[in-house]
């Protein structure tokens, strides 16, 4: 468990530009009062962004996730996290960089406005 916490801390300290962009709009309950945390260990995985109260995980994906090998791993990860009761949203870095407001609107309307 300590290794997962150390890895999560390292990821928080070395976030990507896209993670920083999304985090700036999720932190401090900025998305309609919903609390998000970033780089959260959940069992054997570290989730990019988690709204625990809503059981929602947002994963940011770069172009490497289009590779078949990575797609298989992503699907396995998503199934596992779903089995723990989480909904997993996969968002491409590109969309965050170019259409952030649309991404946030989608997340809120489809997953949080229940």
How big is the CA angle at 95 (ends 12 and 92), to the nearest 5 degrees? Answer: 60
| Both tokens assigned to 46 | 């570290």
The domain limits of the chain are 2-104
pTM of the model: 0.84
| Choices 1.20.140.10, 3.40.50.720, 3.40.960.10, 3.40.50.2300: CATH for 2-104 | 3.40.960.10
17, 93 contact by CB (below 8 A): no
Q: How does pLDDT run across 14-46, given as a tens digit for each residue?
A: 678 899 999 999 999 999 999 999 999 999 899
Question: Which pLDDT band, with edges at 50, 70 and 90, does 78 fall under?
Answer: very high
pLDDT band, residue 111 (cuts 50/70/90): confident
């Amino acid at each position: 468990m300590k290794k997962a916490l150390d890895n999560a801390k390292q990821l928080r300290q070395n976030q990507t530009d896209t993670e920083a962009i999304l985090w700036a709009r999720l932190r401090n309950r900025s998305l309609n009062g919903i609390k998000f945390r970033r780089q959260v260990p959940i069992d054997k995985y570290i989730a990019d962004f988690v709204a625990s109260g809503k059981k929602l995980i947002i994963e940011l994906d770069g172009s490497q996730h289009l590779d078949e090998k990575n797609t298989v791993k992503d699907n396995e990860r998503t199934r596992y996290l779903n089995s723990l009761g989480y909904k997993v949203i996969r968002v491409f870095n590109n969309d965050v960089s170019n259409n952030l407001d649309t991404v946030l609107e989608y997340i809120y309307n489809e997953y949080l406005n229940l």
